[in-house]
């Protein structure tokens, strides 16, 4: 079939028009640009236990390391003393084991917030609590540390890797993390991430949070060339890998060896 000449010219012209049209012009015919803005006011806050170190009142010129402890899901609620069932608050309350209790009591301001019932740790609220503590206590800004177990271990991974400029070291226990915070920090805060100390702990027989959760986070940080990254796996431990971890005074000595660069 022979096409009329006029039709050929029309089709040729259409082809030329399509070739020079912006690639998104067709999409623009169906989509329009809008801007959304709204101011949202939030009230942030936690109940928390505060332990000031021995000698804090006597030496008013000294600034002290800050250790923030995030508990697991079982301690959520409104009775703040349930936090002392595990972790640093338990050791400070019982003053045992003696070596670990002395390491905590002599060296750290310890802040242990309580997450409300049926809620998850809110990163903004934890950071706000840290800022509140810095504003009212004599905190060494280059020695702020974060640790947590189970649900608190997940929050420690995400908050520590998402804001590596805020911490000198983190110690997540039987937790796991997401790829995004580490990836974003490696992209935009690489120096901060690489100077962050990371010591993770997990039970090999953990059937609540598999040890693979910690292993994959450690592997990722090694790929990103974070300088001090280590994982301790307890061969016979199940989910409770925190009792042995927090009873070990070497953990607190390790934390104290990490100091943020002076320009941070």
- Look up the pTM and report it: 0.88
User: What Å distances lie between residue 229 and 146, 158, 218, CA to CA?
Assistant: 15, 16, 7
Q: Profile the chain (264 residues) by mean pLDDT over runs of 10 residues.
A: 48 50 62 94 95 95 98 97 98 97 98 97 98 98 98 98 98 96 96 98 98 98 97 98 98 98 71
Can you tell me the distance from the alpha carbon of 160 to that of 127, in angstroms, rounded to the nearest whole number?
A: 10
- Say what the pLDDT of residue 16 is: 47
Domain topology for 47-256: Rossmann fold (3.40.50)
Contact 145, 171 (CB under 8 A): yes
Tokens of 59: 């030496």
- Say what the pLDDT of residue 8 is: 46
Residue 61: CB atoms within 10 A of its CB come to: 5
Farthest CA pair distance, the chain: 103
- Say what the pLDDT of residue 29 is: 77
List the domain boundaries for the chain.
Answer: 47-256
Contact 166, 127 (CB under 8 A): yes
């Amino acid at each position: 079939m022979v096409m009329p000449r006029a039709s050929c010219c029309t089709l040729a012209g259409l082809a030329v028009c399509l070739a020079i049209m912006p690639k998104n012009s067709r999409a623009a015919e169906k989509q329009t640009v809008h801007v959304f803005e709204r101011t949202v006011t939030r009230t942030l806050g936690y109940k928390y236990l505060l332990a000031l170190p021995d000698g804090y009142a006597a030496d008013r010129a000294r600034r002290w390391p800050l250790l923030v402890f995030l508990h697991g899901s079982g301690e959520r609620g409104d009775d703040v003393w349930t936090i002392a069932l595990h972790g640093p608050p338990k050791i400070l309350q019982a003053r045992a084991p003696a070596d670990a209790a002395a390491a905590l009591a002599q060296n750290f301001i310890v802040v242990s917030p309580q997450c409300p019932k049926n809620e998850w740790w809110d990163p903004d609220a934890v950071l706000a609590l840290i800022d509140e503590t810095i504003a009212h206590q004599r905190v060494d800004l280059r020695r702020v540390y974060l640790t947590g177990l189970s649900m608190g271990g997940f929050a420690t991974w995400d908050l520590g890797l998402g804001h590596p400029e805020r911490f000198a070291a983190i110690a997540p226990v039987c937790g796991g993390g997401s790829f995004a915070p580490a990836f974003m920090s490696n992209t935009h805060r690489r120096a901060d991430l690489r100077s962050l100390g990371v010591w993770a702990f997990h039970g090999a027989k953990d059937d609540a949070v598999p040890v693979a959760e910690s292993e994959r986070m450690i592997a990722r940080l090694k790929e990103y060339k974070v300088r001090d990254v280590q994982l301790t796996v307890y061969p016979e431990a199940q989910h409770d890998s925190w009792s042995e971890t927090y009873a070990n005074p070497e953990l607190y000595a390790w934390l104290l060896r990490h100091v943020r660069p002076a320009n941070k």
